[in-house]
């Protein structure tokens, strides 16, 4: 049944596509399970969350209008993506409804291209466009004679047809039953993976945002108040300076400095751009802040305290935590520094 060579000596298309089929299937299965096992992916406050990725994409994606609406249901969107990846991965590995699964893979890859990696530069450093085209041979040829449930069902159909039995109904039932089994495996396996992820604390990623808190707005006075009474210290990305006590730097309050742990970080919203910001307190009283939008393709970066670097969860760019300069690409430029000052009232102020 699984002959590699045809009678004319050529290799069956399905065998030629087998390495690609297994790679795509295993990769999508792994990607889906990794998302399900990572609680931070579903926690909107995490910079590694689907919410943060959608928020980043909503600023610059060509489908930003749609993404703005999806922000309110970001965890559900993340769940659909993760379960979709698992279902596509299993179907392609087993070779069940291979064409349908490949077309679903193309649709998902194209959706991720429009949202996550549309601004990747050069364009080929964003993996989603590559995945989109990698799916096309399988969408066109399916399992094409290679070991697969599709091939087995088709051969059974042919054998029964030769015997003169009414086979169409039987084949439909077999395919339906197998699809049902795969769907049940996706739901049960996905649920167990998510449960396991929560029990063990989630996948530890270099950029999962561990240690990043949100700046709780309003220390003394409402957010947006300018001109704090006095300033103890001020700093900007790439270095810090100390302002004379009693001076009053203009700025917009973003939250209490106490929300930023020494050796850790906190997120905030840059009042002048609306972008997510990242403030790091490397040493006590030494604050540096950056626009947290990755210059590669717009994902939200996070501080990694153990390595003392800033990392992007999407394609792995890393940045110097003191200057924001690129340490490793694909990002070609560094993070934009944000000037930040600490008022004597203990609040942090973003300065122009």
Q: For residues 176 and 343, give the distance between their C-alpha atoms in angstroms, rounded to a whole number.
A: 66
Cis peptide, bond prior to residue 50, ω within 30 of zero: no
Counted residue by residue, the chain has a size of 352
**Residue 98 near residue 61, CB atoms below 8 Å:** no
Does position 312 interact with ligand FES (CB under 6 A)? The reply is yes
In the complex, what is the shortest distance from the CB of residue 119 to ligand FES, in angstroms, rounded to a whole number?
Answer: 8
Does position 315 interact with ligand FES (CB under 6 A)? The reply is yes
What does the radius of gyration of the chain's CA atoms come to, in whole angstroms?
Answer: 26
**Residue 300 near residue 315, CB atoms below 8 Å:** no
In the complex, what is the shortest distance from the CB of residue 296 to ligand FES, in angstroms, rounded to a whole number?
Answer: 3
Using the minimum distance from each CB to ligand FES, give the nearer residue, 233 or 299: 299
Does position 61 interact with ligand FES (CB under 6 A)? The reply is no
Tell which one of 317, 340, 341, 348 touches ligand FES (CB under 6 A): 317
In the complex, what is the shortest distance from the CB of residue 330 to ligand FES, in angstroms, rounded to a whole number?
Answer: 6
Positive/negative CA dihedral, 30, 135, 141, 104? positive
**Stretch of 147-155, 158-166, 169-177, 310-318 contacting ligand FES, by CB under 6 A:** 310-318
Using the minimum distance from each CB to ligand FES, give the nearer residue, 218 or 337: 337
For helices 13-36 and 168-199, give the axis angle rounded to 10 degrees. Answer: 40
Tell which one of 330, 334, 338, 350 touches ligand FES (CB under 6 A): 330
Both tokens of residue 154? 């088709």
In the complex, what is the shortest distance from the CB of residue 317 to ligand FES, in angstroms, rounded to a whole number?
Answer: 4
Using the minimum distance from each CB to ligand FES, give the nearer residue, 50 or 297: 297
Both tokens of residue 202? 């989630």
Site string for ligand FES, 269-308 (x = CB under 6 A): -------------------------x-xxxx---------
**Stretch of 72-80, 176-184, 262-270, 315-323 contacting ligand FES, by CB under 6 A:** 315-323
Count residues binding ligand FES (CB under 6 A): 12
Tell which one of 331, 338, 348, 350 touches ligand FES (CB under 6 A): 331
**Stretch of 11-19, 250-258, 313-321, 333-341 contacting ligand FES, by CB under 6 A:** 313-321
What residues does 293 pair with on adjacent strands? 300
Using the minimum distance from each CB to ligand FES, give the nearer residue, 157 or 296: 296
Tell which one of 314, 321, 338, 341 touches ligand FES (CB under 6 A): 314
Q: Is 33 left (phi over 0), alpha (psi -120 to 50) or beta?
A: alpha
Q: For residues 51 and 75, give the distance between their C-alpha atoms in angstroms, rounded to a whole number.
A: 7
In the complex, what is the shortest distance from the CB of residue 258 to ligand FES, in angstroms, rounded to a whole number?
Answer: 30
Does position 207 interact with ligand FES (CB under 6 A)? The reply is no
In the complex, what is the shortest distance from the CB of residue 114 to ligand FES, in angstroms, rounded to a whole number?
Answer: 14
CA distances in angstroms from 235 to 223, 288, 310, 350, listed in the order given:
19, 6, 18, 10
In the complex, what is the shortest distance from the CB of residue 318 to ligand FES, in angstroms, rounded to a whole number?
Answer: 9
For helices 74-94 and 50-60, give the axis angle rounded to 10 degrees. Answer: 100
Using the minimum distance from each CB to ligand FES, give the nearer residue, 104 or 292: 292
Using the minimum distance from each CB to ligand FES, give the nearer residue, 143 or 302: 302
Q: State the residues that interact with ligand FES by CB under 6 A.
A: 294, 296-299, 312, 314-317, 330-331
């Amino acid at each position: 049944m699984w002959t590699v060579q045809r009678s004319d000596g050529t290799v069956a298309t399905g065998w030629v596509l087998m390495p690609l089929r297994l790679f795509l299937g295993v990769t999508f299965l792994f990607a889906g399970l990794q998302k399900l096992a990572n609680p931070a992916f579903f926690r909107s406050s995490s910079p590694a969350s689907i919410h943060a990725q959608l928020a980043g994409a909503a600023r610059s994606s060509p489908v930003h209008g749609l993404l703005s609406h999806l922000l309110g249901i970001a965890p559900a969107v993340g769940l659909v993506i993760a379960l979709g990846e698992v279902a596509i991965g299993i179907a392609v590995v087993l070779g069940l409804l291979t064409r349908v699964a490949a077309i679903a893979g193309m649709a998902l890859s194209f959706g991720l291209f429009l949202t996550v990696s549309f601004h990747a530069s050069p364009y080929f450093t964003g993996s989603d466009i590559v995945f989109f085209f990698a799916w096309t041979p399988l969408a066109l040829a399916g399992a094409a004679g290679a070991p697969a449930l599709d091939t087995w069902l088709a051969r059974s159909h042919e054998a029964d047809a030769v015997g003169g039995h009414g086979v169409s109904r039987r084949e439909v039932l077999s395919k339906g039953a197998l699809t049902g089994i795969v769907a049940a495996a996706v739901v049960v396996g996905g649920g167990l993976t998510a449960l396991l992820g929560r029990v063990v604390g989630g996948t530890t990623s270099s950029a999962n945002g561990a240690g990043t808190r949100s700046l709780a707005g309003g220390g003394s006075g409402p957010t947006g108040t300018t001109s704090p009474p006095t300033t103890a210290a001020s700093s900007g990305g790439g270095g810090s300076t100390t302002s004379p006590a009693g001076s009053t730097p203009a700025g917009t309050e973003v939250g209490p400095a106490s929300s930023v742990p020494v050796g850790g970080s906190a997120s905030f919203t840059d009042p002048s751009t609306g972008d997510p910001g990242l403030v790091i307190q490397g040493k006590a009283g030494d604050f540096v802040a950056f626009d947290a939008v990755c210059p590669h393709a717009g994902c939200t970066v996070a501080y990694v305290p153990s390595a003392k670097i800033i990392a992007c969860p999407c394609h792995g760019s890393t940045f110097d935590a003191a200057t924001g300069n690129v340490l490793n690409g694909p990002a070609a430029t560094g993070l934009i520094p944000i000037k930040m000052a600490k008022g004597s009232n203990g609040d942090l102020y973003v300065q122009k």
